[in-house]
A and B are shown apart, each in its own frame.
Chain A
Amino acid sequence: MSQLPLRAQVASALGRTAATLSRMTGRGDGSVIGGRIGLVVEPDLLRQLARDKRLVLVSATNGKTTTTRLITSALHELGEVATNAFGANMPAGHVSALSQAKRAPYGVLEVDEKYLPEVLDTTGASVVCLMNLSRDQMDRAAEIWLLAQKWRRALDGRPTHVVANCDDPLVTWGASTAAQVTWVAVGQRWKEDSWSCPECGGPLDRKDVDWACRECTFHRPEPQWVLDGDSVLDPHGRRWRLDLQLPGTANKANAAMALAVVASFGLSPDRALPRLGEVKSVAGRYTMVERDGRQARLLLAKNPAGWLEAFDVADPALPIILSVNAQGPDGRDTSWLWDVDYRVLNGRPVFVTGERRLDLALRLDVAGVPFTLATSFSEALAAQPPGRVDVIANYTAFQQIRSEFGRAV
């Protein structure tokens, strides 16, 4: 690649040093502080770092970090890939990721939904992958219809190639101003945010996987790629069996999106699939940690749609520990607990912990799900019989547990 200007080189190097210090001192993954310092020294750093790379931006409410990892893993078939593997998904994290692999010809960046227009504008990324939009931390995030509208404006008139999930009506609407869209049908488990037409407000009628507005012409586009059970149909009608280590339906959807994205780089499913199958855990998600003969599998769920996906993965034969916080990154408002249907947990031992455990306790009580309250994750884990247990936690609760186990990845 061409040489960065001197100021950008200095900014980039200072950032990397700070990131290393952050990791060495155990303060974090180092992916934000480094980028912040770099951006202070050279505000145009992201544009310069992005200039010579073929970039993919990945955005959604759920599955960003995992899909970013899957695409990155597949693109390694073609060469070195820069990526923000730890979910630092705002510009500082992007600078940090691109600084750490300056010679990589490819980059895959997870992008916060709100920042997508800005990051697309700055980086001029060639591919954008859009998966789902649902209610999420509404005390600080924008309302999702407004988000989709911002996506539309950002994509309008750009040469960007968009790969988008046509089973999510709001994503479809957000993506449909782009000049080139590859539609991928990967399903939509959470439908509570898409009963009305994003275009005109009319009711959306659904029949099997199909959907259409009753009052205007907005309807589901014809997909080129389709997730069908354990396999993916490509645009040529060939069927590819997914053989993933990552569990659950949501990860099959993430993998199908990844296959469609890397196909736009000329990478065919037969070369990409083995790479997808290598991914076991993603920044602590799905990882197994062990203490005193108890093996706990960690599942992250940040919003109602995410909890549905986590319930799909959790083993009904195992006890389950639920941990909920309401710090800034979680959203300080716990209202969303009432959008999750916890009755699926009936019949297994349920343990409730986290800083907002009383909010969750009342929620389960009203749902008629018996539970045991624990003042800490350690107490909840110690209360288990030796063997396996599933853990579902929201963002900061998840990070607290992860750091108890040496920032397990």
Chain B
Amino acid sequence: MQSDSALRLVWIYPDLLSTYGDQGNVLVLEQRARSRGFQVEVVHVRSADPVPESGDVYLIGGGEDRPQILGAERLRRDGGLNRAVQRGAALLAVCAGYQIMGTTFGGEEGQPVAGIELLDISSGRGQARAVGELVAEVDPALGVPTLTGFENHMGVTRLGPGVTPLSRTVVGTGNGDGTEGCYAGHVIGTYLHGPALARNPGLADLLLSWAVGGPLAPIDDTWYSRLREERLAAVLPR
């Protein structure tokens, strides 16, 4: 967290990449930070505007093929997000946003499109659309409970040696090789779309703890826990 007092959450390109309730991740981080007494400033960055470099947590969401390509082009031209991540800022990249963080992803006709290379991954288009609930066991090194969420994508993502799988899938498709998402440094990518953090407050707290540089006080998680229990019970095989 920078020296000034407010935690800065930067939502990148809601005008292009906000298709599935992506705002939920911003709202959850804001609420969980405020509940712990942090002041929070939320910055929405439209695609025609520069990405500020002084954010603490950056979020980028999902979108259709065309906005994904436009978003990647603008992020590359702008360079602000790359500089912020090099400085140590945390980033959660979801679905189309996740693919943009790699070296390449599949465009409208499956043609390779250049990403912004914040994660050592490359993505292409799969045979079938992966639509449905996803459950995955998180890398124990992160100390985050089972992932639960919804995926809706055609992507297949190959992880390079520079990243670690975020989780191993129990239900669902994820990266397509039995893993789901990945991380490197303070950057997390996932196919769990939209409000992924609403169903995974542990992941939200991981991002916040990176941003504030230390552990966080516990807060009332009643409604988060009840939703997680209900979803996991509905989705996991008995």
Contacts and interface: CB of A to CB of B under 8 A. Distances in A.
Given A361-B226, A365-B223, A143 B64 contact: yes
Contacts of B66: 145, 201
A192 interface: yes
Contacts of A348: none
A138 B19 contact: yes
Interface in A179-235: 192, 195-196, 201, 203, 214
A214 B19 CA distance: 23
A143 B198 CA distance: 24
B64 A196 contact: no
A338 B198 CA distance: 9
A203 B226 contact: no
B223 A358 contact: yes
B216 interface: no
B152 interface: yes
Interface residues of A, number: 30
B41 interface: no
Interface string A125-162: 00000000001001110010110000000000000000
Interface string A342-366: 0000000000000000110111011
B152 A139 contact: yes
B132 A366 contact: no
Interface string B5-34: 000000000111011111110011001000
A333 B152 contact: yes
B21 A338 contact: yes
Question: Which among A192, A201, A203 has the greatest number of chain B C-beta atoms within 10 A?
Answer: A201
Nearest to A192: B18
B77 to A, nearest CB: 14
A196 B227 contact: no
Contact of A196 (B15, B23, B31, B230): B15
A367 B27 contact: yes
Contacts of A365: 223
A336 B21 contact: yes
27 contacts: A138-B19, A138-B20, A139-B131, A143-B19, A145-B66, A195-B14, A195-B46, A196-B16, A196-B67, A214-B48, A332-B132, A334-B150, A335-B20, A335-B195, A336-B20, A337-B24, A338-B22, A338-B198, A339-B23, A361-B223, A361-B227, A363-B198, A365-B223, A366-B24, A366-B28, A366-B198, A368-B31
Interface of B: 14-16, 18-24, 27-28, 31, 46-48, 64, 66-67, 70, 131-133, 150, 152, 193-195, 198, 223-224, 226-227, 230
